[in-house]
Amino acid sequence: MSRTAVQREVAERIERIRKEMKKKDVQGYVVKNLVHVRYLSGYTADAACLFIGLKKNYLLTDFRFTEQAEIDTADFDVQLAKGAHIARLARKHRCSNLFYEPGEFSH
């Protein structure tokens, strides 16, 4: 499958997620499972987390994979994951409700 076709499929998947988020009054969705990260972003390396906002997408990774992330993900703002990055993004996007994958976070 060509890079353009993958990017088009990713954009359609993200749009479907955003529609569900709006229906459920959710402002952010956090994805940590790498299989799901790849499906939703096209990212092919390791060590990543997605934050999908109602208007903007972020892929958080460590310094080893930022270059690959930039290549793989056209519709994501690639950022170095640091400390409480998810919390900062949630505040930035004024998330009063946040989706996350069950079992992917420790309490």
- The model scores a pTM over 0.75: yes
pLDDT tens digits for 46-91? 899 999 999 999 999 999 999 999 999 988 999 998 878 889 999 9
* Side-chain-side CA neighbours of residue 19 (13 Å): 6
Handedness of CA 2, 3, 7, 10 (dihedral sign): positive
